[in-house]
Each structure stands twice: as structure tokens, then as C-alpha cells.
Amino acid sequence: MKNALLKITVLFFFIFALSHSYGQEETVAGKQEQVVIVTMKDGTEYKGTIVSQDNETLVLRTPNGTLNLVSVNVDTIENYDYEGKFEFPNPHDTRYFFGPSGIPVKKGKGYYQNVLLTGNFANYGITKNISVGGGLEFISTVLGNPVWFLTPKVGFDISKNLHAGGGVIVAGLAGEGTASLGYGVFTVGHAETNFTVGAGYGFISGEASQNPAIMLSGTHRVSRSIALLTENYILPMNTGETFYFGIHGIRILSKRNSFDIGAIVIPEIAEDIPALPYVGYVRTF
């Protein structure tokens, strides 16, 4: 198990080194005007620079020519600051399959996440560094005894490619008490390729675990719409031994959505069940 984890760690640091050197190529040389994304009320999006704007017309210069847009039909105008090699940035860079990265949720932005079809979560950035969130498990909610979650998080961009964060994951069952995990994470890399090391202590009925749980996670975007994901946990047991499980797979990306498809690997049951399926969905807002 230790050899497998070492290989995963080395692999993602290697991928990060390659993609970091490539991704830092100058992509905005000579850029003098702010590029924006103009979204119309019917959902159509245009990318370009604003030539002029008044109450009647917004003139937008695009790679395909100049557009005259009716101002009252414009819904939003957002700055486009993405400098990567893909058409749009990773829309969901603050979490892997489920575990967090150190990258903070941006102020005024958020997302809805569905995990394994029954888990429903939402998170929202209330400041530059603080986000709040929570969720409900669907089946238990329908049965009248909901399992609920709280997921507040603090995150900081130490530099362009260094991020640190921490938070608490609280889970509760109505009438049965709560369990929580306080954690800290450190992320090396950017939204498209990064590697995260995290550690956390569990709390049940006021008692803390004696040893920390360890998380090793990473992602690497290989194309416009595909990113690789791995999420690995080493959990301490009362016997003094450790328990490992991991989730490995891909993320299918679009500008506002992401779909996760993976396999949950648990070595202790691998002889009988090689892997369990994992599916997830995220919609950003």
C-alpha cells in the first residue's frame, strides 16, 4: 500500500512540474484591453472587448468581427481573465471527487454538488477567503430521518500556485448526534493541475481521534473537456493499523458543469469486489 501511495505522489508531482512549465507560457503578451464574456438573457455568450456601450447598444469586438448587441437584452458582463491553454477554466477547482483542495471558493460564487445520486450539497463564497455550505442525503430525508451535513471552509491563495485551507465537515443524523472532521489542506499547482496533501482529526461524542486521517489528492486536465482525478485516504484504526481507500477516475468539464466518473478502490475487499462505482455532478453559479 505504501509503495502504491508513493507512486501516486511522485506521478502527480511529475505531472505538475511538466504542466506548470508549459502552462506558464506567455499567453497575454501585448494584451491591452480587458476581454469580457457577455451573456445575453437567452443564454447566448459572446467573448470580446467592448468598443462602446450606451443604453441602446453594446458594441463588442470579437475574433469573428464586431457585434452590435441590444443593451436591454444583455444579462451579465464578466471579465475574462483566464490565461490557460483551454477555452475556459476548470469550473470546479475547489474540490476533487469529494475532498477539498486549498483553493478557496471565490466571493459571490458557489456550486451545487450531487454525490452518488443521493448526496446533495451546496457551497457559497461569502468573502474572498470564507465559504459556507451544507447538504442533505436524499433517501434518509424522504424517510423522515435526514442525514445532514455542514461544510464551512477557509481558503487562502498564498501565491499563484500555492494554496492553503481548512475547515470542518459535520455530519448528523436527526436524533442520533453528530460526527465531525476538522481538517487542513495544502495545494501545490493551479486550477488545471494540482496536488493536495491534507490531514484531519475526527470528533465523535466530544472525543477526538488519536491519529490524523491523511488525504492525498490530485487532478490534471488533459483536454478542453477531460481532467484526471485521484483522491486517496489513509485512516487510522483503533488497532494501530491503517485503512486505505481511494477514488480514481475522470471529470468531464463544461463552462458551468462537471461530471465525475470514477472507481472506489478498497484493497481489503478487492478480491471479492475490485471496485465500486462513483458518480458525481456539479453545477456552478
7: containing domain: 2-26+91-284
159 and 180 fall within a common domain: yes
> What is the average pLDDT across 4-19?
47
User: What is d(CA 198, CA 102) in angstroms, rounded to the nearest whole number?
Assistant: 9
Count structural domains, the chain.
2
Say yes or no to pLDDT of 265 above 80. Answer: yes
Q: What is the pLDDT of residue 32?
A: 59
Mean of all residue pLDDT scores within the chain? 88
70 and 111 fall within a common domain: no
pTM over 0.85: no
Say yes or no to pLDDT of 246 above 60. Answer: yes
63 and 188 fall within a common domain: no
| 54-104 residue pLDDT tens | 999 999 999 889 999 999 999 999 888 887 789 899 999 999 999 999 999
42 and 8 fall within a common domain: no
Residue 84 lies in a domain: no
105 and 182 fall within a common domain: yes
Domain at 51, CATH number: 2.30.30.100
Residue 85 lies in a domain: no
188 and 59 fall within a common domain: no
Q: What is the pLDDT of residue 209?
A: 87
Number of helical (H) and strand (E) elements in the chain, helices listed first = 2, 19
Domain at 118, CATH number: 2.40.160.40
| 26-49 residue pLDDT tens | 444 444 589 999 999 998 999 999
| 147-196 residue pLDDT tens | 999 999 999 999 999 999 999 999 998 778 899 999 999 999 999 999 99
DSSP-assigned letters across all residues of 23-52: HTS---TT--S--EEEEETTS-EEEEEEEE
Residue 74 lies in a domain: yes
118 and 187 fall within a common domain: yes
